Amino acid sequence: MDEPDTDRAEAIPAAEAFGILGNETRTEILRALVERDDEAPLSFSELREAVGTGDSGRFNYHLQQLVGHFVEHDEDGYAFRYHGRRIAHAILAGTFTDRARVAPAPAPGACYACGAEALEGSYENETLTIRCTACEERIVSVPFSPAAVRGRTPAEVFAAFDRWSTAQANLAAGGVCPECTGHMDGRVTTDVADYLDFDVLPRFECRVCRRTATTSFGSVALNHPAVQSFHHRHDAYPRQRPYWTIPQLVSDRHTEVLSEDPWRVRVAFPIEDGPRVEATIDGSVAVVGVTEHVDG
Ligand SMILES: [Zn+2]
Ligand SMILES: [Zn+2]
């Protein structure tokens, strides 16, 4: 039941898949299909015209290499299969993005460590960094697609990064791989980057493509309906701020390891001079309890 036979029947070896794509005419065919305005299939002659090749026999040869795993063919013409479309989008996203860079520019929000509204964002070497110019704290430094930089102001890049990071963390916490949609398993790891203000973090790994995602206990807790309900009732919505300003998402402030065997980690969201909500998370990164405290 876990792995239907159809999954196996679709698989082709990685070397074969990359071999099929290792030709410019073939990648141009994928590009021609994705740059089409509607979803309708393209006829052989339409596709050949879009790619702009003179030799019909050679063109047909390359097209037939794609038919099967990447492209499907019926009486209406040629259209994408799922992986062909994904690769075509990846080709477009990877074009025009060499040496993408954002020079240091003001980023929204206050520093979780010192409180100063002195945050600065930058993008270099395919890494998005948010740091505090007042206390020098490097708050986040995360690999990020160069496509995100194209046609955006620095403020728009930082806003896109905030949304993308939040969506990735939410997918992983929900057990869905942000790369391939495969099943992700959560565990607690002590293997944490030095600059981060954490000793332990949740890490998710995809059973299918092996993609890993390291998030935070705060992010997992904020997804829980009871934690969200608390914030709604008290008119305190931490997710409306950039995530790097929420202490529970970028530091171990308010996070406490209750036990290591089995793992129990508690993360608290206090409202200043008011009530707080606490979520307890287990070794598979599931929320196993939520309690509210009214006494502050
Ligand atoms: Zn600071
Ligand atoms: Zn995956």
Q: CATH number for the domain including 79?
A: 1.10.10.10
Summarised one tens digit per residue, pLDDT across range 245-279 is 999 999 999 999 999 999 999 999 999 878 999 99
Question: Could you tell me the pTM of the whole model?
Answer: 0.84
What residues pair up with 80 in beta bridges, in sequence order?
A: 71
Quick one: which ligand is closest to 134's CA? 1
Summarised one tens digit per residue, pLDDT across range 1-58 is 455 555 544 567 777 877 888 888 998 999 899 888 677 899 999 999 999 877 889 9
Question: How high is the mean pLDDT of the chain?
Answer: 90
Q: Which range of residues forms the domain containing residue 86?
A: 5-93
What residues pair up with 277 in beta bridges, in sequence order?
A: 269, 292
> What's the token pair of residue 140?
């986040």
* Model confidence at 114: pLDDT above 90: yes
- Report the separation in Å between the CA atom of 72 and the middle of ligand 1, taken as the mean of its atom positions: 54
Tell me if 153 sits within 8 A of 108, measured CB to CB: no
- Report the separation in Å between the CA atom of 137 and the middle of ligand 2, taken as the mean of its atom positions: 32
- Report the separation in Å between the CA atom of 285 and the middle of ligand 1, taken as the mean of its atom positions: 29
Tell whether 12 is covered by a domain: yes
Tell whether 235 is covered by a domain: no
Tell whether 194 is covered by a domain: no
- Report the separation in Å between the CA atom of 280 and the middle of ligand 1, taken as the mean of its atom positions: 28
According to the model, what pLDDT value does residue 209 have? 92
Which whole-number Å values give the CA distances from 180 to 83, 133, 171, in the listed order? 10, 37, 11
Tell me if 119 sits within 8 A of 139, measured CB to CB: yes
Tell whether 234 is covered by a domain: no
* Model confidence at 233: pLDDT above 50: yes
- Report the separation in Å between the CA atom of 109 and the middle of ligand 1, taken as the mean of its atom positions: 11
- Report the separation in Å between the CA atom of 66 and the middle of ligand 1, taken as the mean of its atom positions: 53
Q: What percent of the chain has pLDDT over 90?
A: 69
Tell whether 65 is covered by a domain: yes
Judged on CB neighbours under 10 Å (0-12, 13-18, 19+), 18 is exposed
- Report the separation in Å between the CA atom of 158 and the middle of ligand 1, taken as the mean of its atom positions: 18
Task: Give the residue from 245, 179, 236, 190 showing the smallest Cα distance to 212.
Answer: 179
Quick one: which ligand is closest to 130's CA? 1
The band of 91, judged by pLDDT with boundaries at 50, 70 and 90, is: confident
Tell whether 36 is covered by a domain: yes
- Report the separation in Å between the CA atom of 118 and the middle of ligand 1, taken as the mean of its atom positions: 7
Total of domains in the chain: 1
- Report the separation in Å between the CA atom of 290 and the middle of ligand 2, taken as the mean of its atom positions: 30
- Report the separation in Å between the CA atom of 133 and the middle of ligand 1, taken as the mean of its atom positions: 7
Average pLDDT over residues 188-216: 93
Tell whether 228 is covered by a domain: no
Euclidean distance between CA atoms 79 and 66, whole angstroms: 11
Tell whether 172 is covered by a domain: no
Quick one: which ligand is closest to 206's CA? 2
